[in-house]
Amino acid sequence: MKEVPVYLFTGFLESGKTKFIQETLEDVQFNNGERTLLVICEEGIEEYDPSRYSGKNVFPVLLEDKGQLNPVFFQNELKKCKAERAVIEYNGMWLLNDLFSALPENWVVYQEFSFADSATYLSYNANMRQLTYDKLATCDVIVFNRWSDDYEMMAFHKIVRGASRRAQIFYEYPDGRTEPDDIEDPLPFDINADVIEIRDRDYAYWYRDMSEDMKKYDGKTVRLKAVAAYSGRLPKGVFAVGRQLMTCCVEDIQWTGLVCMRYGEKPEPKKWYTITARIEIAASSAYGGQKGPILHVTSLEPADPPEEEVATFF
């Protein structure tokens, strides 16, 4: 089945999504006549002006009810207009997982942009952290509109980096000037050390960085504190270590387990240990046959639990 490229735009109401999509569709480099399905999931003050589009083959459809999110809806709308691709302006009050689970299998998100009103963003983040985090976790670019030099850039930077290290950050002033975020984010541990020491408070950052770029950890030796665990899904002689990790709020706490191999004494389940291990990136049935980090344990020492047993980015 032919792949359908999806260009996804997220953000709360009046965050600048519509304006950016309008400008994108006016750009001949993006819109050179390709048949494009435009899915609008909320109506704001700003309206689209089809007369200014570079290409005329843009077919809008309004989706106001989250209950409409399903593969049949998207396939039917695409078929009606014989579109080659889709642009989606997503409702900021809906979780992205609802969309991702509703997209047909052959619909692939090529780029994801998120937009925010700088004047209200810190308040949104304080009161609706789950929704702000949701729009940052997978985005490629985040744009803070209506930016002013009166705002503290580091406060916005930290919120984004708490969700993603790969998202590009831009600040757009009312006069149209755009400033990229060039704040450096050194890792809180030395990845080039003979033994990478992961402090208790840095576990979340290490786990995310390794998940996003596993190759750079292949062959590295690491020392960290974690809980031992066993599962019937693990191969014989293999156990897991890990910690509970909270990325956003209490509701999203999840276990982050890592496959371990050790020849000799096995750890007790649910006990804390300081583990020294060499990391190998290899396929494992524990990862559904996909490649993942396998820890070849060289040292396993009983340890006291960390001060905060749930790892966070805060």
Chain segment 8-52, per-residue pLDDT in tens:
999 998 899 999 999 999 999 998 889 999 999 988 778 899 999
Is 130's pLDDT higher than 70? yes
Same fold, 4-180 and 196-312: no
Strand 272-283 and strand 58-62: the pairing is: unpaired
Give the pLDDT score at 248. Answer: 66
Which tens digits make up the pLDDT trace of 199-252?
999 999 899 899 989 999 999 999 999 999 888 777 777 889 999 998 766 667
> May I ask the CATH architecture of the domain 4-180?
3-Layer(aba) Sandwich (3.40)
Q: Which two tokens stand for residue 215?
A: 């190759």
Over the chain, what is the mean pLDDT? 91
Q: How far apart are CA 36 and CA 269, in angstroms?
A: 54
Q: What is the model's pLDDT at position 136?
A: 94
* pLDDT confidence tier of residue 100, bands split at 50, 70 and 90: very high
- The upper half-sphere exposure of residue 155, i.e. CA atoms within 13 Å in the direction of its Cβ, equals 13
Look at residue 186 in the predicted model and tell me its pLDDT. 83
Check residue 295 and give its pLDDT.
95
Q: Where are the domains of the chain?
A: 4-180, 196-312
Measured N-to-C along each axis, helices 153-161 and 118-127 cross at an angle, to the nearest 10 degrees, of: 50
- d(CA 140, CA 146) in angstroms, rounded, equals 20
State mean pLDDT over 294-299: 93
- pLDDT tens-place string over residues 105-128: 999 999 999 999 999 999 999 999
Pairwise CA distance, residues 104 & 122, whole Å: 34
pLDDT above 80 (res 132): yes
DSSP the chain: ---EEEEEEEESTTSSHHHHHHHHHH-TTT-SS--EEEEE----SS---GGG-SSS-EEEEE---GGG-SHHHHHHHHHHHT-SEEEEE--TTS-HHHHHTTS-TTEEEEEEEEEEEHHHHHHHHHH-HHHHHHTTSS-SEEEEES--TTS-HHHHHHHHHTT-SS-EEEEE-TTS-EEE-------SS-TTSSSEE--GGGHHHHHHHHHH-GGGGTT-EEEEEEEEE--TTSPTTEEEEEEEEESSSGGG-EEEEEEEE-SSPPPPTT-EEEEEEEEEEEE-GGGTTSEEEEEEEEEEEE-PPPSSSSEE--
**Cα angle at 280 between 239 and 314, to 5 degrees?**
75
Would you state the pLDDT for residue 287? Answer: 84
Q: What is the CATH number of domain 196-312?
A: 2.40.50.140
* 36 backbone dihedrals φ, ψ, rounded to 5°: -125, 125
